[in-house]
Amino acid sequence: MKHLTELLTAKRATSFSEFLIERLIGLTGLSAIALVAMIFFFLIREGVPAFFKVPLSSLWSTRWYPIEEYFGLLPLIAGSLLVTVGAAIIALPLGLTTAIFIAEIVPRWVREFLKPLVEVLAGIPSVVIGFMGMLVLAPLVRVSLNIPTGLTAFTGVILLAWMALPTVVSVVEDVLDSVPRTYRDAGLALGLTRWQTIWRIVLPAGRSGILTALMLGVGRAIGETMTVMMVTGNAARIPRSLPDFFMSVRTMTATIAAEMGEVAQGSAHYHVLFAVGLALFVITFLVNAAAATVVFRQLKRSERMLS
Amino acid sequence: MVLLSLAMIAGCSRADTGDSEVAVVTIQNKGSDTIVNLALAWAEAYQLVDPQVRVAVTGGGSGTGITALVNGTVDIANASRQIKDEELRAAQANAIEVRELVIALDAIAIVVHPDNPVERLTLQQISDIYSGKITNWREVGGEDRPIVLLSRETNSGTHVYFLEEVIRLGQADDTTLFSPDTLLLPSSEGISAEVRQNPNAIGYDGLGYVTPDMKTVDVGLSFEGPFWSPTVETVNAGQYPIARELYMYSTAAASDAITTYLEWILSPEAQRIVLDLGFIPVAATE
């Protein structure tokens, strides 16, 4: 009898602690969602008044000079897109191939050495990268390309690609590592070459994870502030042709960082800066949504093929 | 025994009154961000001159400081511009008589790469360069190179001063803007780094930020000259054209402590600090 009571109390204690832990996990999970919702709500609350205070024709113009009430957002959006797309074009193939090299080609011990080395890159503070870009890369770009200044979109693209690289490499490498050994064995057993195994079997198997990695890389590039502020020159001009790639641009993030500190709260400028933040949020959301759709569609196709 | 306790009481009471005898006076000082470092350095140095007076310095901008003075919440307002008529009227409405003191001068130097052969520019040429009318150094007597314009961000007081007094040549109805190609750099160091290594660049900054590895351009009002280089002498003589006065405003009803502090600011000791921080002193530094 006594034994049974003890058992029951012990069980009740376990179920209580289990209950507590479950709730705690639920709470932390919800808080992450709540935080995003609150950020979104705050951005809307502070950003939407901009569309009432400043006429849409003014926002949709090409001149950004807020202290004289010029609030054209086009150069900022164009600047951010140019720098991000440029960084993605360089970082994604480079990151993907580096990850394949580390995960599939080199021996185990080299990999144990290379992967932490790549991850160290991710730990360098962006202001340090920006400073090096300003003092080393910018002069190099100017002299080697013979252009008026080294503080250009191109310089920003190189640095951003460099910063997005460790994220892409690290995540893709993990994804490839999680593809079962048997897949490769099966491929080789069927007489495929090593390259065919990687390209036709391993990569498609890790497709959704790879896409996530690429999106993380793009997210790193579009959200980066300090580095682009230091090396892109921040001239709010619209890039119209290829040579403009080697001219200065002003990104949305750099604009918010440079101007938010001094702006009078509640002024038109203040609300427009939040509207810029809102635009940034929407763009990031669209990019992620697009990626998710692609993953989802391909999943369905592979299910079809298996059935 | 009685004697001893008396001595103890005396000792205690002296210790007690110790704080109230050295009553600390606090002077509230607020305003221009350009001046805030200078005001802080002065406040710190004044601790040694008169430990009974504390000067509390805050920034916020010239307008903020003057408004606070008019509302009677600060004792001294720092301003990098002269008080406006409407601010004076507001002060009169509050029965406050404003006293003005020029505390230092701030010269803005035009800087280029040391290898740039251009020695001198007129104000009109600088205005045309920054508004985008002149885009090649050849047009102002230099090499055949594109001009890369450098400026501080729009939140800098120096940016606004440069727009109003140089690009618009002081004309209030002029609406010329910086050329959209102007690179807006977040720090003085950004401008210095680019000017040092790029022979195409032109920049402007407070004289205190100019280092020997940059070249300052002489500035004149017309092509015939004369042209002046930005130095303590030319600014003091009122010759160098891109210089402004920095002010401290107080009231006629100011206490002795405030009056003494303002007098000390024009002393050689305080004016040497002006020189150390890269501004131009308005009184003797010896």
The CATH fold assigned to A56-306 is MetI-like fold (1.10.3720)
**Contact criterion met (CB < 8 Å) for B190 and A63:** no
Do B154 and A247 lie within an 8 Å CB cutoff?
no
Question: What pLDDT was estimated at residue B1?
Answer: 42
* Overall average pLDDT of the B22-31 stretch: 84
Mean pLDDT across chain A = 87
The answer to which of B10-24, B35-49, B249-263 has the lowest mean pLDDT is B10-24
Contact check, Cβ <8 Å, A149/B198: yes
Range in A130-134, B6-10, B24-28, B251-255 with the lowest mean pLDDT: B6-10
pLDDT band, very low/low/confident/very high, at B10 (cuts 50, 70, 90): very low
**For the segment A169-227, what is each residue's pLDDT rounded down to a tens digit?**
999 999 998 899 899 999 889 999 988 999 889 998 888 888 888 888 888 888 888 89
Q: Mean of the pLDDT values across residues B266-281?
A: 88
Task: Choose from A84-98, B49-63, B70-84 the range with maximum mean pLDDT.
Answer: A84-98
Instruction: Label residue B225 by pLDDT band (50, 70, 90).
Output: confident
How high is the pLDDT of residue A69? Answer: 84
Task: Return the bridge partners of B203, or none.
Answer: B111
**Contact (CB<8Å) B181/A262:** no
Task: Output the pLDDT for position A80.
Answer: 92
Q: Kindly report the nearest CA distance between residue A124 and chain B, in angstroms.
A: 20
B185·A233 Cβ contact <8 A: yes
CA distance B32 to B191: 22
Asked whether the predicted pLDDT for residue B4 surpasses 50, the reply is no
Cβ-proximal residues to A207 (8 Å cutoff; 6+ apart), any chain: A295, A298
Least confident of A94-108, A143-157, A161-175, A283-297: A283-297
| CA dist., res. A166 & res. A223, Å (int) | 16
Which long-range contacts does A121-126 make (Cβ < 8 Å, 24+ apart)? A121/A162, A121/A163, A121/A165, A121/A166, A122/A163, A122/A166, A122/A167, A122/A170, A126/A163, A126/A224, A126/A225, A126/A226, A126/A227
Q: Above 50 in pLDDT, residue B12?
A: no
Q: Are residues A160 and A249 in contact, defined by beta-carbon separation less than 8 angstroms?
A: no
Residues of B in contact with A70 (CB under 8 A): 177
CA-based nearest distance B113→chain A, Å: 13
Residues in chain B within 8 Å Cβ distance of A257: 186
Residue B5 has pLDDT above 50, yes or no: no
Nearest to A94 by CA among A172, A27, A149: A172
User: Is the CB of residue A169 less than 8 Å away from at least one CB of chain B?
Assistant: no
Name the pLDDT band for B115 (thresholds 50, 70, 90). Answer: very high
Per cent of chain B over pLDDT 90 is: 38
- Of residues A134, A150, A259, nearest to B190 (C-beta): A134
Contact between B198 and A250 using a beta-carbon 8 Å cutoff: no
- Could you tell me if A226 lies within 8 Å of chain B, comparing CB atoms? no
> pLDDT > 70: what percent of chain A?
92
Q: How confident is the model at residue B16 (pLDDT cuts 50, 70, 90)?
A: very low
pLDDT at B280: 86
Residue B239 to residue A74: CA distance in whole angstroms: 43
Q: What does the pLDDT read at residue A301? A: 64
The predicted pLDDT at position A1 comes to 56
- The answer to whether residue A137 scores a pLDDT higher than 50 is yes
Chain B: residues touching A (Cβ < 8 Å): 145-148, 153-155, 160, 175, 177-178, 180-186, 190, 193-194, 197-198, 200-201
Which residues in A lie closer than 8 A to residue B155 (C-beta atoms)? Answer: 258-259, 261-263
Chain A residues in contact with B112 by the CB 8 A cut-off are none
Give the pLDDT of residue A34.
94
**Which of the residues A64, A144, A145, A248 would you substitute to probe the B interface, choosing the one with the greatest number of B C-beta atoms within 10 Å?**
A248
pLDDT, tens digit (0-9, with 9 covering 90-100), for A216-261: 888 888 888 889 999 999 998 888 888 888 999 999 999 998 887 6
Question: What mean pLDDT is predicted for residues A117-128?
Answer: 87
* Residue B211 pLDDT level (bands cut at 50, 70, 90): confident
| Average pLDDT in chain B | 84
Of residues A305 and A173, more confidently modeled: A173
Are A234 and B178 within 8 A, CB to CB? no
**pLDDT of A22 over the 60 cut:** yes
pLDDT digits 0-9 by tens, A32-63: 999 989 999 999 999 999 999 888 888 888 88
Confidence bin at B231 (pLDDT 50/70/90): confident
Q: Closest Cα partner for A239 from A137, A158, A152? A: A152
If you measure CA to CA, which chain A residue comes closest to B187? A230
Is A65–B146 a contact, with Cβ atoms under 8 angstroms apart?
A: no
Report the complex ipTM. Answer: 0.80
How many other C-beta atoms are found inside a 10 Å radius of the C-beta of residue A158? 20
Euclidean distance between CA atoms B173 and A66, whole angstroms: 18
pLDDT at B8 over 80: no
Task: Give the per-residue pLDDT at A213.
Answer: 87
Nearest CB neighbour to B190, from listed A65, A150, A230: A230
Mean pLDDT of B119-142: 92
User: In the structure, what pLDDT confidence band is assigned to residue B18 with cuts at 50, 70 and 90?
Assistant: very low
Show residues of chain B in contact with A132, CB under 8 Å.
none
pLDDT of residue A4: 66
> Cα(A165)–Cα(B184) distance, rounded to whole angstroms?
28
Cβ-Cβ pairs closer than 8 A, A with B, add up to 72
pLDDT range class, residue B19, cuts 50, 70, 90: very low
Q: State the CB neighbour count (10 A cutoff) for residue A66.
A: 20
Q: Give the pLDDT score at A251.
A: 93
Residue A234 near chain B (CB below 8 Å):
yes
Residue among A279, A256, A232, A186 at smallest CA distance from A87 = A232
Note whether A250 contacts B: Cβ–Cβ < 8 A.
Answer: yes
What mean pLDDT do residues A257-280 have? Answer: 84
Q: Which residues of A touch B182 (CB under 8 A)?
A: 235
Q: Quote the pLDDT of residue A136.
A: 92
Q: What value does the mean pLDDT take over residues B166-176?
A: 86
B193 neighbourhood in chain A, CB within 8 Å: 134-135
Band of the pLDDT at A287, cuts 50, 70, 90?
Answer: confident
Contact residues, chain A, for B185 at CB < 8 Å: 151, 233-234
Residue B236 has pLDDT above 70, yes or no: yes
Span B235-241, mean pLDDT?
Answer: 85
Suggest the residue from B136, B155, B191, B196 to mutate for an interface test with chain A (most A CBs closer than 10 A): B155
B155-158 contacts, C-beta under 8 A, 24 or more apart: B155/A258, B155/A259, B155/A261, B155/A262, B155/A263, B157/B32, B157/B33, B157/B34, B157/B61, B157/B62, B157/B80, B158/B34, B158/B108, B158/B204, B158/B205, B158/B206
Do A148 and B148 make contact, defined as CB atoms within 8 angstroms? yes
* Residues on chain A touching B186 (C-beta within 8 angstroms): 229-230, 234, 257-258
B226-240 burial, b for 16+ CB within 10 Å, e for fewer?
Answer: ebbbbbbebbbeebb
Domain boundaries, chain A: 2-47, 56-306
Q: What is the mean pLDDT of residues B43-64?
A: 87
Say whether A151 and B194 touch across the interface (CB within 8 A): yes
Q: In this predicted structure, what is the pLDDT of residue B55? A: 92
Least confident of A132-141, B12-21, B118-127, B175-184: B12-21
* Residue A209, pLDDT score: 86
